[in-house]
Amino acid sequence: MGHRITLVVIDEYEEKNSKIPNCLTLPRPDGVFMVGQMRKSFCENVCSLGIPTVALDFYQFGLDTDFVLADNFFLGYWAAMELIKKGHEKIGFVGDPLSTSSIADRYFGYVKGMTLANLSVDKSWLISNNDNENHEYTADIGFPSDMPTAFICHCEMAAYFLKLTLENAGLSIPNDVSVIAFDDTDIGRTTMKELTTFNIGRHEIAETALKHMLEQLNSDNKVRGRHYVHSRLIERSSIKDLNVEK
């Protein structure tokens, strides 16, 4: 289409200090894709430039732009219902809902599923195995005394480190604990071939983002908002069907 794409990696200093990279002002680009959630103040500074902007894989309240992402709230609900359908009643969640909009929506979708099924959500079943500041994951976490029979992991990397933690405790997937995750990355295709996960349609996210960017470039009156792409469940063997044992 005659457009040139430049990848700009935002470092920690720029994000924390809401510092706009020079390449966004000299020369001024025609449009900006923001990929992955960053601090709201930084995103606000980018949007204040008045450049057509499309955000991918997150949304933030108060930003007047297009957001393209998976319907994470429904996916969290769907994950809970898949486990409940297999007879699980004590279901935990791995991830920090305060860190990103995607994790928050997946968590509250899980809570909806548990609530509608008249199942309790124990606060001790919410655990996190990564640091939000440096993004490093760890297998050095503790489990609740009332151990869930299943966990919903906010991503496949979280599921991998949960697996390491379970193995350190002498437990295995799915014999002792069932696991379901999101994103359909290489982890689920190689390291954890048994992992049941959701494909969030990354190609569709890219295509939809381009569509809305072109619409912004071609019209000042373009209505902006959130745009959800399709996702699909990839069933493998990480969920134990407890109904079979009853």
- Tell me which architecture the domain covering 12-69+201-230 has in CATH: 3-Layer(aba) Sandwich (3.40)
pLDDT (0 to 100) of residue 131: 80
What is the DSSP pairing of strand 66-70 with strand 32-35?
Answer: unpaired
Going across the sheet that includes 66-70, the strands are 32-35, 53-56, 66-70, 226-229
Q: Report the candidate in 166, 169, 135 with the shortest Cα–Cα distance to residue 238.
A: 166
pLDDT at residue 212 in the model: 98
pLDDT digits (tens, 9 = 90+) for 102-152: 999 999 999 999 999 999 999 999 999 988 667 789 999 999 999 999 999
pLDDT at 62: 93
Give the pLDDT score at 235: 97
- What are phi and psi for residue 74, nearest 5 degrees? -65, -35
Distance between CA 90 and CA 102 in Å, rounded? 23
pLDDT at 27: 86
pLDDT of residue 211: 97
Domain spans of the chain?
Answer: 12-69+201-230, 72-199+234-245
Average pLDDT rounded to a whole number, residues 73-82: 98
pLDDT for residue 214 is more than 70: yes
Would the pLDDT of 183 be above 90? yes
**pLDDT (0 to 100) of residue 233:** 98
Q: Is 56 helix (H, G, I), strand (E, B) or coil?
A: strand
pLDDT tens digits, residue range 3-26? 899 999 999 899 999 999 998 888
With cut-offs at 50, 70 and 90, classify the pLDDT of residue 245. Answer: confident
- What separation in angstroms does the CA of 6 have from each of 23, 26, 31, 32, 54? 9, 13, 11, 10, 15
pLDDT for res 246: 64
pLDDT band (50, 70, 90) for residue 53: very high
Give the CATH class of 72-199+234-245. Answer: alpha beta
Residue 176 contacts residue 238 (beta carbons within 8 Å):
no
pTM: 0.94
Same CATH topology for 12-69+201-230 and 72-199+234-245: the answer is yes
- Best CA proximity match to 131, nearest among 95, 106, 103: 95
Kindly report the CA angle at 194 between 203 and 96, in degrees rounded to 5?
65
If you search the block for the tokens 């949304």, which residue do you land on? Answer: 59
> pLDDT for 146-169, tens place per residue?
999 999 999 999 999 999 999 999
